Amino acid sequence: MMIVSPTPLLSRYAECMMWLARQMERMENLARLLEVTETFVRNADGQTAWDSILAINTDEHLFTQLHNAVNHAAIVPFYVTETRNPASLVSLAQAVRENARAVRPLVSIELWTQLNVFSRNLLNLKNEDMSAHNLAELCTRVRQDCQTHFGIAEGTLYHDQAWLFYRLGKALERSDQITRLIDIRYHMLLPQSEIPGSEIDITQWTSVLRSAAAYHAFRRLRPVTLSPANIVGFLLKNDGFPRSLSTNLRQIDETLTLLASHDNLRQRCSPLLECVTELRASLLDQTAEEIIIRGLHDYMNWIQIQLRDLQNAIAATFWPAPMQPEYHMNHSYFQEQN
Amino acid sequence: MINAQHLASPLMRGLLDNYDTPDFFCELMNRNASVPPIINCVKERLSALSIEELKTRTASAEAQLYRMGITFTVYTDKEAIDRILPFDAIPRIITAEEWKHIERGVEQRIQAINLFLHDIYHEQHILKDGVVPSELVLTNPNYCQAMIGLSVPGGVYVHINGTDLIRDQQGRFLVLEDNARTPSGVSYVIENRHMMLRLMPDLASGLPIRSVENYGPRLHQVLCEVAPDGVADPQVVLLSPGIYNSAYFEHVFLSREMGIPLVEGKDLFVDNHRVFMRTVMGPRPVHSIYRRLNDDFLDPLVFNPNSLLGVPGLVEAYRQGNVTLANALGTGVADDKAVYAYMPRIIRYYLNEDPILESVETHICAEPEGLAYTLANLNKLVVKPVGESGGYGLLIGPQATRAELDEFSQKLQQNPKNYISQPTIGLSVTPTLCGNSVEARHVDLRPFAVTGRSVWVLPGGLSRVALRKGSLVVNSSQGGGSKDTWVMAS
């Protein structure tokens, strides 16, 4: 149920709500990925597969620009404190903070307060907080803080248009994250799965599930065999798992449908809805085995392009760029007189 | 002065035992004649607290303010630092009788200010009658050409006003300054109350403290009242310079309390002299704007062409009567230092009444008597230039050397029109937690008034304390703190 508020949502608020949700979701995923990678994920040579995180986030280019070669010791700081990496925890915290400040008039005080403390703590992060011993602890804390945020959002966010954009952001980000994870990990593990049943194989495949917080849910299905297709199928097509692609595409669909229930938004939402319908149909039409045989990478890639186009179409529909040139912030203009 | 009974009781080792207020009026302790029973009650309750307890509670309050981001931002060359306004847990109390006086005085002053602004932008009777020098008004940098001949809804120019009051040694309330542009601080009045009730429920329990909760709805009502004629359900917005402004917390607070969008310049645009905001459902008309942007930044087509904070075409839309700005443009003439000196005469001129709240005694050096008095008493007075900028060329007589006094005397005689003089005032003090003891600190009071069809004064105010010993500077940017202000209903 959504409330129609007397004032339509400011475009800027819609944009900020969507990005706030996306960035919080991204932080939660990144924290989980760092934690799981440190504990479980190994390359063929038995070394911690930090480089797979670069691949999942397609950050290889930026990383080598900053560090010349792929230097494993530098990957963790690159994702935690590096301000030149827009996908690091610290950069995300900064972005979250700005978006949270922008939507502060709209969200509950409880939601703002938690984000205020959380983002400030991250911005004050010291390098010693990410030594091998502390990384897991730090990641656990970040993950829990993100989950606290989502809990407060669930419990206090008013169900008006702002909430719809927040939901859209969350579901879009989850869809994006799960397809990246599957794409990279599957191809990393492919050579190893040619020796079925080996110890490393099972640990590595279950780590894919753990990276998506899916391990125990998957266990409850009691699969006869733990095959790559089973796991890919679960992460892409399971309708009960909150982070699966199918669940999130359904949520995008439902959210856009709610938005379209506003009289004058029906037309503007219909091309967006068509795009989601097509994505859902493509997923429904094929089994995981078929997806793998036809080319998992190509399919994941196609979905990601569709998701990116959908995000751009949402932006063009709800916060079209004004005609005049962009504004640049200049602090000296920002003081009131009395 | 110390309450003798406290000293006499060996059991009482309370907060106020060593409190001393030489020469100043104390808001809590030395209320000349009979001490109101409510003050005594609060005094007793305070005495039951220990310093340690007060310190613990204060620390908890400050941590909470920081967590909640009830902060203002200070910009250095390198970074932006969020600071809280230090909170003092001993309330400042205003009795019902005192409040009635303040309320009436503020109302009167705002009525006069609005009549004055209307007059100087229309017929200019007060200038023609020689009550206020034309030059002072018409060449004032805050005098706004775009306002000439423009009629504003209800004749209200100053919708939101903050009046800075001080108390002298006798406890008289005096107006120190009017803030008729974009006064800030009202959010702290309300947040300080919330903090106080959370922190000291035992202190407030059962006392007839007047509520400050109603400010948001009142302000929204006024902004609807003054919307352009013929708009049934006006869209009100708060226009902020954005998330980096030092007062952004207050902008958030007010838009939240009013349930209206907080917009930035880029969220608005003008089409065919009408103002719209960009929403997910397309452009929506805007009728009433509570702007927290100074005049200069509102419209690059009229004022500062380099400013990107405002809305191109806004002033013309305003002049056409399609949108209301609160406060109106050009209200800065009314709270100008030079005009302040004429305020008692302005009140008499328009209302035919004596000022209810007195001003600080001001001598206008443009007038022969004023100049003569100032020259004769230079070592006792503060002499202020009346030009646009404050602080420059100020003489503090009691602190000046003989040579400085002589030199200033020359300057004064060369250009007397440029100066006013005032006696130094011993501001009232209030018990304030300072380190490990409770000491007397100087305090002022800024009540806030909201004006639409009538003037409404929020029963409360921002009490700012100068935390440095002996300091008279209460500004938050210069080490000032704040207190909850309890206006009593009886």
Q: What is the pLDDT of residue B13?
A: 57
**What are the C-alpha distances in Å from B324 to residues B29, B152, B266?**
46, 8, 18
The answer to whether position B216 is within a domain reads: no
Q: Where are the domains of chain A?
A: 10-158, 159-319
Q: Of B283-292, B329-338, B472-481, where does mean pLDDT reach its minimum?
A: B472-481
Strands B437-446 and B395-396: unpaired
Distance CA B321, CA B282 (A): 23
- Tens digit of each residue's pLDDT (9 = 90 or more) over B219-263: 999 999 999 999 989 999 999 999 989 899 999 999 999 999 999
pLDDT at A224 over 80: no
Distance CA A236, CA B459 (A): 60
The number of angstroms, rounded, from the C-alpha of B269 to the middle of its chain's C-alpha atoms is: 31
Q: Of B18-22, B127-131, B312-316, B333-337, where does mean pLDDT reach its minimum?
A: B18-22
The answer to whether position B414 is within a domain reads: yes
Helix (H) or strand (E) holding B446: strand B437-446
The answer to whether position B447 is within a domain reads: no
Quick check: B261 contacting A, CB < 8 Å?
yes
Region A77-83 average pLDDT: 93
- Tens digit of each residue's pLDDT (9 = 90 or more) over B37-91: 888 889 889 988 999 999 999 999 999 999 998 888 777 777 778 888 899 999 9
Q: What ipTM does the predicted assembly reach?
A: 0.89
Q: What is the pLDDT of residue A277?
A: 97
Residue range(s) defining the domain that contains residue B368 = 361-423
Residues of A in contact with B243 (CB under 8 A): 98, 101-102
The answer to whether position B206 is within a domain reads: no
Residue A57: other Cβ atoms inside 10 A: 20
CATH number of the domain at B396, please: 3.30.1490.270
Quick check: A267 contacting B, CB < 8 Å?
no
- Tens digit of each residue's pLDDT (9 = 90 or more) over B412-437: 999 898 889 999 888 999 999 999 99
Region A39-43 average pLDDT: 80
The answer to whether position B416 is within a domain reads: yes
Q: Which of residues 13-32 of A touch B (CB under 8 A)?
A: 13-14
Q: Which of residues 335-364 of B touch A (CB under 8 A)?
A: 335
Residue B160: other Cβ atoms inside 10 A: 24
The answer to whether position B386 is within a domain reads: yes
- B-chain residue closest to A263, CA distance: B281
CA distance B253 to chain A (A): 7
Residue B256 to residue A329, Cβ atoms within 8 A: no
The answer to whether position B411 is within a domain reads: yes
Is the C-alpha dihedral spanning A133, A139, A140, A142 positive or negative? positive
Is the C-alpha dihedral spanning B112, B117, B123, B129 positive or negative? positive
A334 band by pLDDT with thresholds 50, 70 and 90: very low
Quick check: A109 contacting B, CB < 8 Å?
yes
Helix (H) or strand (E) holding B450: strand B448-451
* Number of domains chain B contains: 1
